[in-house]
Structure 1
Amino acid sequence: MNIVGLDHFTIRTPKLAETAAFFQDVLGLKQGWRPRFGFPGYWLYVAEKPVLHLVEVGSRALDAYLGESAAQFGSGRVDHLSFRGTDLAQMQQHLCRQKCEFRERIVPEIGEHQLFIEDPNGITVEMIFPYARDNAVVGVAMERLAIQPEDEV
């Protein structure tokens, strides 16, 4: 297969500034260079890579470029966006300081501690951190998943 990882995702939003601020303030993405497409938007970066493209709905130029979209709110056909993180406790504290409600699930069978939040558009954002026995649940605890070994599926 040629797929090596997530390149970027695009969110169409009527809340462009609020959505950009959310991803910058809560997840630490940085606004960077963006081609001049003729419709409002932002490219948000992790390191040197633009991973999130935000575009403002309601522009004929946008519809001409990307095509019309029937999705008005929420994740539409996309279930969630997922990022990997390295410091669970730091992110938990950051989310609490931001007064950002979040849900958590520990999945030791696959070595993950998951945090879930929603952006201003109702899109679910998952953050995955390494599982450790001393990880604390600070947000709303979610039901633990029962992961079955492949030979039992």
Structure 2
Amino acid sequence: MQLDHATIVTADLDTARRFFVDVAGLTAGARPPFSIDGYWLYANGRPVIHLIDETVPAVAGRAAPRIDHVAFRLESADEWVALLRRLHAADMPYQLAEVPQMGPQQAELQLFVALAPGVVIEFVTALRTAHRG
């Protein structure tokens, strides 16, 4: 099993799209012609983030979805440095946290961006490949 996609409902579609494209490095791509405004954002040819306009009325009897955060893994130091450069260029604040090594699991570095109230995006890499920028 693997993660297919995450859907984020937001009142500011364009800001979210710009973050995921300009900072996170995803690509805006094809999206079915739904009656609801939104974007599909791609990584490695797959739509991994679906953005949906928050102005859509709630469906009776259905709980509003909630996402705490979405995490993207960066495998190389070059990817990590490029992300830091894009964050700095966008003047986007972030927080770092270390995940200590546990058994065979390598130590990791997490980077958190508060995209909007209630929406946090995490980027994670092996601590040995990370630069703290």
TM range (shorter): 0.7 to 0.9
Q: Against the structure 1 CA distance between its residues 34 and 101, is the aligned structure 2 distance closer, same or farther, given a 3 Å change threshold? A: same
TM-score, normalization: structure 1?
Answer: 0.71
Q: Deviations over 1:63-110 (max 9, x none)?
A: 45xx86557xxxxx4321101012323322321222111111222404
Task: Tell me the C-alpha RMSD between the 2 structures.
Answer: 2.4
C-alpha contact 2:8 2:67 (8 A) present in aligned 1:
no
Q: Which amino acid aligns with 1:18?
A: T
Q: Which residue does the alignment assign to 2:21?
A: 24
Q: Deviations over 1:8-62 (max 9, x none)?
A: 01111111111111111110111111111111111000021000111112235xx
**Runs of 5+ consecutive residues of structure 1 not aligned to the other structure:** 72-76, 139-153
Q: Which residue does the alignment assign to 1:102?
A: 94
C-alpha contact 1:22 1:120 (8 A) present in aligned 2:
no
Distance 1:38 1:135 in 2: 42
Q: Which residue does the alignment assign to 2:38?
A: 41
In our comparison, the structure showing a higher alpha carbon Rg is 1
Q: Which residue does the alignment assign to 1:56?
A: 53
**Regions of 4+ moved over 3 Å:** 67-71
Q: Against the structure 1 CA distance between its residues 95 and 8, is the aligned structure 2 distance closer, same or farther, given a 3 Å change threshold? A: same
Match runs of 1:1-153 below 5 Å: 4-60=1-57, 63=58, 70=64, 77-86=66-75, 87=77, 88-109=80-101, 110-111=105-106, 112-132=108-128, 135-138=130-133
Identity rate, percent: 34
Q: Which amino acid aligns with 2:132?
A: V
How many residues are paired up?
A: 126
Structure with the higher fraction of residues in strand conformation: 2
**Runs of 5+ consecutive residues of structure 2 not aligned to the other structure:** none
Partner of 2:116, secondary structure, is coil
Distance 1:95 1:16 in 2: 19
